[in-house]
Amino acid sequence: MLFIADTLKENLSQFIFGTGLLEWSGVFTGILCVWLAAKNNIWNWPIACISVLIYVVIFFEGRLYADAGLQVYFLMTNIYGWYYWSKHRDNPINERPVSNIAPKEIFLSIIGVIVFTLALGFTLFHQTNASFPFIDSFCTACSIIAQFFLARKVIQNWLIWIFVDIIYVGVYFSKDLYATGLMYLLYIGIATMGYLDWRKTYREQSN
């Protein structure tokens, strides 16, 4: 029992003090922006811009190159989402509604994920020292789709995020990014809340 207690104490100490200020900053801004997005709050976008800039550095240092590149895409979609959500913001009648995914969007998304995963995965595998080239590429592809749907207020973006976040938890823990791994555990809960809230809003719009 004493050995177990000492081990837990050592792991907790490593988690708290071994996590740098930069990663904690990324965790805080990341959780905040996702929570605001789940609440359909436009301020998620500027905070998200800060978060992705932090994670460009963190992921590059962790040799998660696809994830580092993904943050650049996130930065662009964050700016686009900020603009898109701002349209008619002062006029609730014309405010951008929550929408449902179309069958064509499902088909194109699946094709896009397959092609992107294979293309980027083989590139990272042969040209870099990436830790998880194909898993990283698959999660990147899914995240690109989910982020675009989030910016367009498509309700199913949250289901994609839940799926991707589950995978990311394992990836980040394996890279000793414990705070980021815990952040993605929280993301799963927040994304679930976001899906339920947006589904309620969608049904209210349809009535």
Whole-number average pLDDT of the chain = 84
For residue range 155-187, what is the model confidence (pLDDT) as tens digits?
Answer: 999 999 999 999 999 988 887 778 778 888 988
For residue range 26-38, what is the model confidence (pLDDT) as tens digits?
Answer: 888 988 998 998 8
Helix, strand, or coil here: 154?
strand
Q: pLDDT-based confidence at 132, cuts 50/70/90?
A: confident
Q: Is the pLDDT at 93 greater than 50, yes or no?
A: no
Neighbours of 203 (CB within 10 A): 10
| Domain count of the fold of the chain | 1
Q: Provide the domain limits for residue 152.
A: 2-206
pTM, two decimal places: 0.76
DSSP structure string for 6-70: HHHHHHHHHHHHHS-HHHHHHHHHHHHHHHHHHTT-TTHHHHHHHHHHHHHHHHHHTT-HHHHHH
Give yes or no for a contact between 139 and 164, defined as CB atoms under 8 angstroms apart. Answer: yes
